[in-house]
Chain A
């Protein structure tokens, strides 16, 4: 049942992207037939005849509803055509960019999980202590700072002032650090809070006291009983954070010149490359749905009680 609703969600995502990009196409200045003909035959080979042929073939002079249906039909067959700018097939470009984005997103998520939950657990085991309060201040500040502002601060401090790392680029391991950190700090602020609350709740629970009462040390209790309990809210949180991550990828890639799908989306919108917008938006939306479907399944394994 949950998988069925995810599948429905995927169809709906495609519908929204289709309608939004159709509106975008309609709003563009100039003649769509000319632009598509140019995309097909190259800008030098376009004349009124080629444009008319395209218009007749695609029914571009018909009523709007017919055009919309045709547009959605192409989308349903996942036929996105070629980029209006590079002339390459959209799917080829996307496959390339998705790899770069996935690398960055995975690095950021891993980094945030290494920073956030451990700090949150330490704070949660001593609620009200100095570390707990310090973490609250830091995580509130990080939550308020948008990712591009964190990115800006990292560039100014680590790249411009200290000259430790390159401010932008792609290909070398050191290029990962700044964009991944810019994304990870915001995510870690949230996962630290969630881990902190879950740990504080666990440490106050009856099963925790029983475990310590039977002679297990605090570390053993945390390892044997605590972590699995903490994993449930954390996994849910990771699923929700995927939104933040996808959103952040769009902005952070543009700032750091990362050749990923977010960068491509911003550029495609900027240069009115509708097929690329469609491809990038569709890929981002569908990967969100797929990741959440996987998290639904993972949650069932971690917490077989069926509460999740």
Chain B
């Protein structure tokens, strides 16, 4: 682990810790309004102040920071498993299966990633399931390419040929040859995938085609609070800072990807 990765892991852990423990430390409701306090500053019951509808930003932020990472983790897990499986099949089978899957992956890369999410969302509007399906559909490509590239190199190596000749099956080769090569880069791919997912959810929320009000969601909070920038800069800065911190943490955790 490099210094950057440790710092990244620490930032992500801090943000997630706030999301989990925030509402326990200061009990409250992200939907409860007290209009008299709209846009007012921090107080004991609402340490980050209030938004334009008099809802506690502390609680809205904590719930938003539960929603996006949860969708991101679910999508990365689905995409990771699918990408590993398909990449493994492509690398070991070769031939037209390999060519077909690679073509499919390359073509998905050519389309704007958010398109799949938008279409999934038009089938299941404003739901976590829609986001999960759309994001999984675009994120598996990275895992697939990674597994296929590593897999081809490993499966062609003399070590694997030796294992095969000794009579070991595909399960053994997967566990003892392929997995040790892929595992270290999986963390990088997963962190980038999670960052992509969180960015996508926030970006669509920001242009009002993602989650819908009154759900607390990072991008949605930003676009709701943007008109009140002059009256209450702290209100807009709350989701902006949190989103940036989370993404910075994930990018640092991913580590330097070589160009």
Contacts and interface: CB of A to CB of B under 8 A. Distances in A.
Interface string B214-237: 000001001000100110000010
Interface residues of B, number: 41
A13 B103 contact: no
B207 A148 contact: yes
B157 interface: no
B3 to A, nearest CB: 12
Contact of A13 (B110, B118, B258): B110
A155 to B, nearest CB: 8
Nearest to B236: A156
B18 to A, nearest CB: 18
Contacts, number: 127
A144 to B, nearest CB: 4
Interface in B115-168: 115-116, 118-119, 121-123
A17 B115 CA distance: 9
User: Looking at A23, A153, A270, which has the most chain B CB atoms within 10 Å of its CB?
Assistant: A270
Nearest to A243: B109
A98 interface: no
A216 to B, nearest CB: 27
Given A13-B110, A160-B230, A281-B115, A251 B207 contact: yes
Interface stretch (B34-42, B51-59, B242-250): B242-250
Contacts of A233: 259
A146 B115 contact: no
Nearest to A160: B229
Contacts of B44: none
B202 interface: yes
B251 A16 contact: no
Nearest to B246: A144
Contacts of B209: 266, 269-270
B240 interface: yes
Nearest to B100: A12
A146 B123 contact: no
B107 interface: yes
B112 interface: yes
A148 B219 contact: yes
Contacts of A28: 122
A272 B119 CA distance: 10
Residue of A16, A149, A237, A266 most packed against chain B (CB within 10 A): A149
A20 B107 contact: no
Interface of A: 5, 8-9, 12-13, 15-17, 20-21, 23-24, 27-28, 140-141, 143-149, 152-153, 155-156, 160, 193-194, 197-198, 233, 237, 243, 246-247, 249-251, 254-255, 262, 265-266, 269-270, 272, 277, 281, 284-286, 288-289, 292
Interface of B: 103-104, 106-116, 118-119, 121-123, 195, 199, 202-203, 206-207, 209, 219, 222, 226, 229-230, 236, 240, 243-244, 247-248, 250-252, 258-259
6 contacts: A23-B119, A144-B248, A149-B202, A152-B226, A237-B259, A265-B112
